[in-house]
């Protein structure tokens, strides 16, 4: 009997990722080719460049995955690919490659929602909760809270009304001359700073809404940086550390407050984090501390599986297959998939 092996491709933005898992959700290959060097000169992701990079990297990433898993294409039983949301050009390249490979092998092809992938990034863990649970997904493009029901049903409870948490980090880093991407650099420098030195606004702080907004925080940070520069301050050393720590605290406080408010409103005792910002050390620490204080189990993914990766897409697809669910999304690239 042929062993179950599933290959997954993730190409929704600027990371080319391929993974292979088996019937026990064991990861046999986990390949990620980043594009930071290509986009760094522009301070953000350039869609056309991202598409060209994916076109070159996907065949290499798939070949590397086969080599890491010690298998051949003919050993595969199914293929999964991110079908949306994301950059339409990047998505198209991943979907078309996956479709062609699946057709040539005569095996099923599944389209997976990018956010569902982040929701399932920790699902191989023995600590992953049974539904229902609350999920906080925070990244460069998303900041949202979901109530996860059984049978892969996800209810959006709240989301950002403007900018995402990851974007707030990247734009703050750009103002400080820290380059792109900036979230990781801010996290590192913040550990040397005083997070209470500067205060920034947190939207909906006293509201019962579980929505987010980071545009006001970004504006406040920009005005402070401009003021300090106008006064002749050198934005380096301890001042730089303090600025990073303070803006990080504002973002983290906002994310954590609404996540636990959602748990309280829905009477849920389990919170799962996902998305690139879930790799932030302050967010992980604050969420775990609040969870312990409130009696809520908090699960954070491995840092390597917080940012875009194909393991999460493979796990989401495997979960659907185990439940006997037919694919719900048309297998075509959909940049605005809801």
Q: What is the pLDDT of residues 260-290, one digit of tens each?
A: 999 999 999 999 999 999 999 999 999 999 9
Q: What is the pLDDT of residues 70-129, one digit of tens each?
A: 999 999 999 999 998 899 999 999 999 999 999 999 999 999 999 999 999 999 898 999
Instruction: With a cut of 70, say whether residue 328 has pLDDT above it.
Output: no
Residue 329 has a pLDDT of 47
pLDDT-derived band at 213, boundaries 50, 70, 90: very high
The secondary structure element, H or E, covering residue 290 is: helix 281-294
Buried-exposed string 288-297: b where 16+ CB fall within 10 A, e elsewhere: bebbeeeebe
Q: Provide the whole-model pTM.
A: 0.90
Burial of 163 (0-12, 13-18, 19+ CB in 10 A): buried
Instruction: With a cut of 70, say whether residue 256 has pLDDT above it.
Output: yes
Of 80, 83, 61, 98, nearest to 12 (Cα)? 83
Instruction: With a cut of 80, say whether residue 338 has pLDDT above it.
Output: no
């Amino acid at each position: 009997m042929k062993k179950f092996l599933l290959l997954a491709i993730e190409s929704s933005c600027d990371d080319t990722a391929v993974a292979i898992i088996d019937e026990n959700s064991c990861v046999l290959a986990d390949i990620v080719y980043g594009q930071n060097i290509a986009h760094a000169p522009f301070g953000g992701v350039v869609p056309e460049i991202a598409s060209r990079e994916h076109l070159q990297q996907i065949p290499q990433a798939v070949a590397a995955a086969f080599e890491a898993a010690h298998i051949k294409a003919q050993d595969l039983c199914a293929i999964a690919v991110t079908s949306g949301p994301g950059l339409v050009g990047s998505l198209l390249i991943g979907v078309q490659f996956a479709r062609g490979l699946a057709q040539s092998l005569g095996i099923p092809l599944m389209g997976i929602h990018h956010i569902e992938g982040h929701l399932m990034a920790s699902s191989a863990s023995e600590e992953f909760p049974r539904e229902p649970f609350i999920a906080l997904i925070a990244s460069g493009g998303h900041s949202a809270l979901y109530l996860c029901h059984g049978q892969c049903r996800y209810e959006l409870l709240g989301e950002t009304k403007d900018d995402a948490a990851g974007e707030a980090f990247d734009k703050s880093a750009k103002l400080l001359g820290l380059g792109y991407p900036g979230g990781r650099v801010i996290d590192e420098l913040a550990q040397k700073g005083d997070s209470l030195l500067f205060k920034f606004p947190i939207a909906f702080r006293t509201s019962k809404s579980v929505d987010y907004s980071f545009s006001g925080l970004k504006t406040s940070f920009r005005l402070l940086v401009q003021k300090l520069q106008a006064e002749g301050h050198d934005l380096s050393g301890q001042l730089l550390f303090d600025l990073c720590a303070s803006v990080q605290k504002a973002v983290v406080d906002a994310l954590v407050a609404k996540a636990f408010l959602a748990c309280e409103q829905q009477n849920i005792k389990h919170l799962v984090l996902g998305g690139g910002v879930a790799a932030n050390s302050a967010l992980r620490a604050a969420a775990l501390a609040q969870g312990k204080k409130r009696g809520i189990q908090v699960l954070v993914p491995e840092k390597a599986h917080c940012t875009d990766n194909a393991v999460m897409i493979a796990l989401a697809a495997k979960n659907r297959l185990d439940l006997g669910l037919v694919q719900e999304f048309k297998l075509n690239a959909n940049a605005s998939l809801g």
